[in-house]
Structure 1
Amino acid sequence: MVKFFEFLLFVLTILFDNYDEVKTFYVSTNGLDSNSGTKNSPFATIRRAQSAVKSLNGFHNVKVYLLEGHYFIDSTIVFRHDDGGKEGKIIEYIAFNGGKVVVSGGKLLPKIWNKPFPTSNLWKLDLSYMGQTTESIRQLFANNKRLKRAASKDLYTKGPLTKFTKRFSRFDFSSIDSMRRTDIEAFCGFAYKGSDLDSFYFDDDTEIIVYHSWECSWHKVLRLDNINKCIYFTSPSRYPVGFFSDNNRYRIENNSKVFDEPGEWYYNSKKKELWYLAHEGENPNEEDFYVPILNQIISIAGNSYSKKYVENLTFKGIEFKHSSYSLGINDLNEKVKYKLVKENPWLKFSDGYASAQTAPDCGQAISISYAENCKFEDCKFSNLGSYAVNIGKGSNDIILSKCVIQDVGGGGVLIGFNEKDPVMKNVPWSNSPYKNIIKNCKIYNGGKVHPSSVAIAIMQANSNLVTHNTIYNFPYSGISIGWTWTKSANFTKDNKVTYNQIYNVMEDLADGGGIYTLGKQPGCIIKGNHIHNIVRSESAIGALNCGIFFDQSSSMMTVDDNKIDLINGPKYRFNKTDSLKINWKAKE
């Protein structure tokens, strides 16, 4: 009898262990967070559903259905270890019945535009009610489109600031590195042509973007010297004007003097007034205008110290929209910046943006770190200010499948993190993202704020797969693999980039390609990609653009069966690397 009960207990244990009731919750823009979360009594917010999921302790498969609607969030939604599934259980956030579900990091502006001048199409919106959230409005969207901020035509520099014309040599990188520490002013302005800037008044809201060779920098104006025809910035670029060429392209934005075309907007932060120059017959009170507020919409963040990863999260059919971006980014280390500001009190690193190619520091709308087995399927990412997704440190088995990424200020997906020599700096190997997959995605119309961004970047990451994606309309490279310029060991290895279609990239900048590589990459496979229509802008400065560019120390990779055509430059290019160290074969 005892053995019979032991057997019965064993059978019941198996039955209960395999009994997998799927828990469901519903969220609706018409719901209440005090509701029970059923279909007939839905929650109002994703955070309330997140709390309900957490109460189940991760030991159930859960489906959170988001009913059709526009979900505005006022702070980043953070998913931690206890928000995911345990022991193989999956937590899913799903657009119910394929309805249009938007999770927005922005605000819908009130329809209280007025016309100060009855005979003009100029409209004004008072945003003083929004408080601090209006301190730095740099993007505006309506009708699912990015609206053009007031901007000048493309202008071109005359050369470096006059007192630095003989202080550095073109393409002498070693001299530039030392000048950053001794003559930072050389990086903070340029000489302009003729009377291009003579009549401008530069206030705190004006921003200037300068196009270098393979990257761009944003600046605010310190002062204008009309006598010597020089403009000075409050923050430095990575390279001084004149290093690549005297004739750098630049553009002035958010200045009242260049606010002159229908469809443009201008923001005055002191008065908190948003101005819009409407098209003939257009009434902005009949449209929905959105201002991004949050830099990040979703953060999936595990804990590396406690080894508590976020596991088994899935998002299906959701559109993530309206993220902002920050200035105050410069890749000089903090000690150097502190010393420079002490020696040059006029410097304001908080004002500008100057970072390396690929713009790895520009931010991301979706941040993933120390997570595994998470998925975004049939999702859309649009109207964003930075990269759409960063699969960062310690993340593995993250999948983006059948997603669309478009109209982004930065790039599409960045797998990895910005560290050029992780082995030398004793970065733990476990930080390297691995076994992540980007497949069957469409990524286009990127680099709207940071033109050096790329559609997909892999840096210090291993064993990832990028396959069957369509990539087009980027100012710089399509796919970038590797992040170590020397021959030293690094974390980028065993990645596969296969059967992607890449075209109409390199639209603004130079010295890149459809696919771009750096450093030793044992086990890397680049195969079956179709790269075509690689262009070169008339204003681009620096080296040629190409199909596949093997840049410094690129080696130990296999490149085969790629089709490259309609290229305004060489199909393949090798720079400071030995082609014999790459097992490559061109497809005719």
Structure 2
Amino acid sequence: MTFKQIFPIFLFVFLTFSITAQEIYVAPAGSDSNEGTKKLPLKTISAAQKMAVALLESGRETEVIVWLDGGTYTIAEPLEFTPLNSERQDLRLVFKAQKGESPVISGGAEINGWIKNEDGLWEASLPDALKGMDNFRELFISGTRAIRARFPNEGFLHVKKAGEDRRTNFFFEKEDFPIPANLEGLELVFLHDWSISRIEVKEIDATNSQLFTVDSIGAKAPAFFAIDNWEPNPRYFLENAPEFLDADYEWIFLKGQQKFLLKLPESINPSDLNLVVPISEGLISIIGKEDQQVKNIHFEGIVFQFSKWGIPQKGYCGVQACHFDPRPSTKGWAVVPAAISSVWAENVSFTRCSFKNLGGSGIWFGTGSKNCKVIDSELVDISGNGIMIGEGQDRIVNGEPWWKSAPHQVASGNTIENCTITQVGAQFYGAMGIWAGLTAETSIKKNHLFSFPYTGISVGWMWSPVPTPARQNTIEGNHIHDIMNILSDGGGIYMLGLQPGSKILYNRIHDVEVNAGKAESNGMFLDEGITDVLVEGNLVYSIAKSPLRFHRATVNTVKENYFFCTDGNPPIRYNTTKEEDIQKVDNKVFSEGEPNYQKELKKQITRWEKKSIKPGGR
């Protein structure tokens, strides 16, 4: 019998025996022909989801808990949640790890059958089940991201001179890099101040030392995304050619031959490793409607691992915060999608969960998402943004931008609390640990964010003081450090646009690098349009430039902060901002070299640690 034939029998059993009606059990060793009891568990989460939905829609149950045993649940496409066929608003669906277990929802496929070739490299053909897929951008070796073969192996090359159009080509120093015999799949990774481009190489003129790409390097708009508008000799590297495969744990995928090449240390055999490529484009997709939200879905203690995203055909050309120029479309900016996404969702939560090895962004509470939460969780090794809340400006409703014609659609009341977020921006360096666009009443509290190529937390998405639905967002008690490691013109906290009643409170920010871009990076950077924001009680130190910077801001309050300044840098930098508009109250400023600098810094760190509940995830 098929699952469709026997499913009504399962449902009858669950509705008849109320003692088990609220619980469904799933285990990798189970079977979808089982009843879903603890002794006879189902095998797949999708089967459990169907059973749970039927139970809730029957009207007999108000809550169903799906218990997941330990092990891996592999999916090839996202698990999709849509509104229940019920008028009740209190129905709850919970997916929960069994006690002591860490079930994994995986969108990856293992690559086996590795053979060593005459060049000392390991080869593996694409499994039959994956035939037709050719855009493999990531390979994970026992849970660690492997490096797609690049040149140079570390650091960057530098543009010698931009080409005539300043957009599609540039000159390089002769013999800067080995010129690949086959340019198919060769990718240029080009650094702008606060974003990057990843775009295929069309031609390399070895005689004139000139490189051409398949389209514009950098976003086509704004106009300042020209090759030579950034660093004097912008940084770049090249990726994905056999000639670059010269370091251990580097790999490439050869499209034409449908096989992987991998370099490993002599003592390592791939049969002893777990080699996985992401194949599912997302893991969880929650899709409601404005008049029918998806409500009350909760995930507890689950690991979400391996998710795929392939860049557009003509390249990824970033604008800011993993928003990019969606070629060939001209319909505004797009954004790197997330493994976990929701629109028109209410009261959705992830508690004590882990998100790792993801090819796009991590989590996105999008349009109309309300009162959704990520609590006590960790996000590690994410290609794009860690967590996204809300949206940008471009969506159109009734012929106008949504924030003008339908401001009630704003994502509101969402919370990120006590999470650990690290190693975001693994592919797309302009990523944020937490990005909140045009949002309202968002709470970002007591999180630990570190080891980023760019900014820690970003809230706002309007480069002017024009009113939008953004308001009353709070960034409180977060520990942010070791950021701005590659790009520039950002900070531990970045805030943008008019969002009255918003607050930056009691955060600890330190170890913010200085970079080669045109603009400096700061502990906190409050950008264009910022008005009526309270900056209070923050501890900021070990910042290469000023602890706080305003740019085209208006009236704001800076109160009772502790700013520890490096030599020659003021506590607050004012760019096109009237200093008298910034109300400063009882701030404590210490300059490097003062006799009590280190003593006071140590005192304030201790005070912050005692005052704060130590932030961090599961």
TM exceeding 0.5: yes
Residue in 1 aligned with 2:473? 495
Distance 1:44 1:519, change over 3 A: same
Indicate if the aligned counterparts of 1:559 and 1:584 stay in contact, CA closer than 8 A.
Answer: no
Q: Write the mapping of 1:13-92 to structure 2, written as runs, cut at 5 A.
A: 23-58=22-57, 59-82=61-84, 86-92=88-94
Structure 2 residue corresponding to 1:229, chosen from 209, 217, 222: 209
Q: Secondary structure at the match of 2:128?
A: helix
Q: Secondary structure at the match of 1:53?
A: helix
Residue in 2 aligned with 1:173? none
- Indicate the structure whose relative CO is greater, using CA pairs within 8 Å and at least 6 residues apart: 1
Superposition CA RMSD, Å: 2.0
Distance 1:556 1:74 in 2: 47
Once the two structures are superposed, residues 389-428 of structure 1 have per-residue CA deviations (whole angstroms, 9 ceiling, x without a partner) of 0010001010100000011101211101121698962341
Q: Secondary structure at the match of 1:552?
A: coil
The answer to whether structure 1 residue 144 and structure 2 residue 143 are counterparts is: yes
Distance 2:86 2:540 in 1: 43
Distance 2:293 2:82 in 1: 8
Q: Write the mapping of 1:441-456 to structure 2, written as runs, cut at 5 A.
A: 441-456=419-434
The answer to whether structure 1 residue 461 and structure 2 residue 418 are counterparts is: no
Q: Secondary structure at the match of 1:523?
A: coil
Indicate if the aligned counterparts of 1:21 and 1:61 stay in contact, CA closer than 8 A.
Answer: no
Residue in 2 aligned with 1:542? 518
Distance 1:211 1:546 in 2: 19
Moved more, 198-207 or 388-397: 198-207
Q: Secondary structure at the match of 1:187?
A: coil
Q: Secondary structure at the match of 1:322?
A: strand
Cα shift at 1:74: 1.2
Residue in 1 aligned with 2:187? 207
Distance 1:427 1:295, change over 3 A: farther
Structure 2 residue corresponding to 1:296, chosen from 282, 296, 304: 282
The answer to whether structure 1 residue 370 and structure 2 residue 349 are counterparts is: no
Indicate if the aligned counterparts of 2:407 and 2:468 stay in contact, CA closer than 8 A.
Answer: no
Distance 2:191 2:495 in 1: 22
Q: Secondary structure at the match of 2:314?
A: coil
- Structure 2 unaligned segments of length 5 or more: list them: 1-17, 220-224, 324-334, 557-580, 590-618
Distance 1:301 1:187, change over 3 A: same
The total of aligned residue pairs comes to 520
Cα shift at 1:357: 1.1
| Matched residue type, 1:124 | E
Residue in 2 aligned with 1:481? 459
Distance 1:313 1:243, change over 3 A: same
Cα shift at 1:577: 2.0
Once the two structures are superposed, residues 303-328 of structure 1 have per-residue CA deviations (whole angstroms, 9 ceiling, x without a partner) of 22xx1111011000000010112211
Q: Secondary structure at the match of 1:224?
A: strand
Structure 2 residue corresponding to 1:440, chosen from 418, 428, 434: 418
Distance 1:199 1:326, change over 3 A: closer
Indicate if the aligned counterparts of 1:559 and 1:582 stay in contact, CA closer than 8 A.
Answer: no
Indicate if the aligned counterparts of 2:25 and 2:36 stay in contact, CA closer than 8 A.
Answer: yes
Residue in 2 aligned with 1:191? 171
Q: Secondary structure at the match of 2:464?
A: coil
| Matched residue type, 1:456 | I
Indicate if the aligned counterparts of 1:381 and 1:406 stay in contact, CA closer than 8 A.
Answer: yes
Indicate if the aligned counterparts of 1:391 and 1:398 stay in contact, CA closer than 8 A.
Answer: yes
| Matched residue type, 2:381 | D
Distance 1:496 1:422 in 2: 27
Structure 1 residue corresponding to 2:315, chosen from 352, 365, 386: 352
| Matched residue type, 1:281 | S
Indicate if the aligned counterparts of 2:56 and 2:91 stay in contact, CA closer than 8 A.
Answer: no
| Matched residue type, 1:274 | F
Distance 1:497 1:378, change over 3 A: same
- Structure 1 unaligned segments of length 5 or more: list them: 1-18, 165-185, 329-349
Once the two structures are superposed, residues 133-188 of structure 1 have per-residue CA deviations (whole angstroms, 9 ceiling, x without a partner) of 53111100122111111111121111211x24xxxxxxxxxxxxxxxxxxxxx422
Residue in 2 aligned with 1:11? none
| Matched residue type, 2:549 | R
Distance 2:280 2:353 in 1: 19
Distance 1:421 1:390, change over 3 A: closer
TM-score, with length taken from structure 2: 0.81
